[in-house]
Amino acid sequence: MKFSESGSRRRRGGALTIVILAVGLALVVLPAAAALALNVLNHLTRQINQAVRGDAQPAAVAPVLSLNQVARWPGAERVNILLLGIDQRPNEDPDTARTDTMILLSVDPQTGTAGMMSIPRDLFVPLPNRGQDRINTAHARGGPEFAMQTVEYNFGIPVNHFVRVNFNALVKLVDLVGGVDIYVSQDINDQTFPDNHYGYDPFVIRAGWHRMDGATALKYARTRHGSSDFERMRRQQQVIMALRDAVLSTDAVTKVLPNAPQILATLQDSIRSDLDPLSIAQLVMLAKDIPAEKIARVVIDETAVQAWTTPQGASVLIPIRDRLRELREQLYNPPPAQAANALPETERAAARIGVFNGTPMRGLAASAKAHLESRGFTGAQIGNADGDYPRTIIIDYKGRPALSAQLAAELGLPVTAIVTQPDTTQALDLLVILGQDFQAPAAAPPQP
């Protein structure tokens, strides 16, 4: 982790950041292990200082954190952080790289909600005092600070901090938590996926559930072959939520804490932020208690832009300002959790839902259909999936988040089971593929 300080101070700050992040993860995953995490802090700090400076440091000098310091974010105001993913090639100056990914993260301590809004890199916007250009050029023109100014100028959202990562950071983070579980909604065959040397590194993956390592997750998040940049942004959010689930898994602490020196060695040149180490740990503690259903996932998609060709022949996207304001409201105000009968009866009855059995258990789809019918979803049809599925998935073909969230609630599924896959040719609104993790809901009385 890099900060604005220079020289040895920056290097020590980077080391401490990694340690605090490791301890923060321990507190996130196993609150009962807080004392253990703090006990290993000194040992890890000595290891890292030795790795960074090549010399040992007395235990008495190693920093010690107060649990109260780590556990409490001091502010009450909303915090907005711009996440910048840069396409940095070997030996390239990171400060001159264009951003391949821009995601605005927002956390509200008062309401206990959060959100992330993906910004397309081809969005054609005014750059403060520098004319108009694609938004992904802002970083190359003025670094993270100018990228923050550009986002704030165009969206009317104050941007408080930034975190900049290159692709190596994502690969290492995914590998250090043991991989992530991702559902691929359609086959991908990208023979022109770029490598780091201006050549090609083909990426091929079949539809279905996959346990992805870091390299595969990166390719999945970056590929645009056969799909739009909007789909790519949805996949990036899918990877972020899967990484969050992996970090919150019960054994993540045993994977991350022992590897703190490795994290430093592999990530110190891959991540830069203006957040100090303690603030990062406190934000981790703030965000870890926010349930997935209170995290808004917003994409500036086809509904919010118009395609345009500049006089120079460049294909860009012109923002539709009224729609951007609507998306900003979604970022700030995630929809409330669906009540048991939140959707009107007519909307339930009209929903076209497929329920496919992705397990060897006979009659599972019929059981789920019967439950949904008892809850007013009379338009469900059943079938068999094209293989075995370890986990249940809901595919939203028509962009109906309220309907998909309601369906997930009725079936006892988390909102992270929902994958948005726009398809105007699909007759169904939603497809549920039941996996081996599915627990048939208890019988419920019909709605009045």
In a domain, 442, yes or no: no
In a domain, 440, yes or no: no
Q: For position 90, what pLDDT does the model report? A: 67
Give the SS3 label for residue 58: coil
For residue 17, with 0-12 CB atoms within 10 Å meaning exposed, 13-18 middle and 19 or more buried, which class applies?
Answer: buried
Q: How many CA atoms lie within 13 A of 67 on its CB side?
A: 12
Query: Residue 22's pLDDT band (boundaries 50, 70, 90)?
Result: very low
Indicate the average pLDDT of the chain.
Answer: 78
Q: Are residues 270 and 371 in the same domain?
A: no
Q: Are residues 56 and 91 in the same domain?
A: no
In a domain, 441, yes or no: no
Q: Are residues 164 and 83 in the same domain?
A: yes
Q: Are residues 350 and 319 in the same domain?
A: no
* Mean pLDDT along residues 265-291: 74
| 219: CB partners within 8 A, 6+ apart | 190, 193, 201, 203
Query: Residue 443's pLDDT band (boundaries 50, 70, 90)?
Result: low
- Which of the two residues, 389 and 97, has the higher pLDDT score? 389
Q: Which of 308, 332, 356 is the last residue before a domain boundary?
A: 332
In a domain, 447, yes or no: no
- Which of 49-58, 61-70, 131-140: highest mean pLDDT? 131-140
Q: For position 15, what pLDDT does the model report? A: 41
Q: Are residues 32 and 174 in the same domain?
A: no
Q: Are residues 53 and 100 in the same domain?
A: no
- Which of the two residues, 230 and 435, has the higher pLDDT score? 435
In a domain, 445, yes or no: no
327 pLDDT more than 60: yes
Q: Are residues 358 and 421 in the same domain?
A: yes
Query: Residue 125's pLDDT band (boundaries 50, 70, 90)?
Result: very high
Q: Which of 71, 90, 120 is the last residue before a domain boundary?
A: 71
118 pLDDT more than 80: yes
Which CATH number belongs to the domain containing residue 393 in this structure? Answer: 3.30.70.2390
Q: For position 134, what pLDDT does the model report? A: 95
- Which of the two residues, 258 and 83, has the higher pLDDT score? 83
Q: Does the predicted TM-score (pTM) go above 0.85?
A: no
Please check whether residue 348 is in contact with residue 373, taking contact to mean a CB–CB distance below 8 angstroms.
no
Query: Residue 224's pLDDT band (boundaries 50, 70, 90)?
Result: confident
Structural domain of 413: 345-434
In a domain, 337, yes or no: no
Q: Are residues 39 and 128 in the same domain?
A: no
Q: Are residues 206 and 83 in the same domain?
A: yes
Query: Residue 92's pLDDT band (boundaries 50, 70, 90)?
Result: confident
In a domain, 416, yes or no: yes
Please check whether residue 152 is in contact with residue 126, taking contact to mean a CB–CB distance below 8 angstroms.
no
Q: Are residues 261 and 284 in the same domain?
A: yes
> Which tens digits make up the pLDDT trace of 366-409?
999 999 999 999 989 999 998 899 999 999 999 888 899 889 98
Q: For position 108, what pLDDT does the model report? A: 92
Q: For position 229, what pLDDT does the model report? A: 83
Rounded distance, CA 432 to CA 364, Å? 12
Query: Residue 411's pLDDT band (boundaries 50, 70, 90)?
Result: very high
Q: Are residues 284 and 418 in the same domain?
A: no
Other Cβ atoms less than 10 A from the Cβ of 90: the count is 6
Which CATH number belongs to the domain containing residue 226 in this structure? Answer: 3.40.630.190
Say how many domains are in the chain: 3
Rounded distance, CA 427 to CA 430, Å? 9
Q: What is the dihedral of CA 244, 248, 254, 259, to 10 degrees?
A: 20
In a domain, 107, yes or no: yes
* Mean pLDDT along residues 188-201: 84
| 389: CB partners within 8 A, 6+ apart | 208, 209, 358, 359, 433, 434, 435, 436
Q: Are residues 392 and 270 in the same domain?
A: no
69 pLDDT more than 70: no
Q: Which of 272, 306, 332 is the last residue before a domain boundary?
A: 332
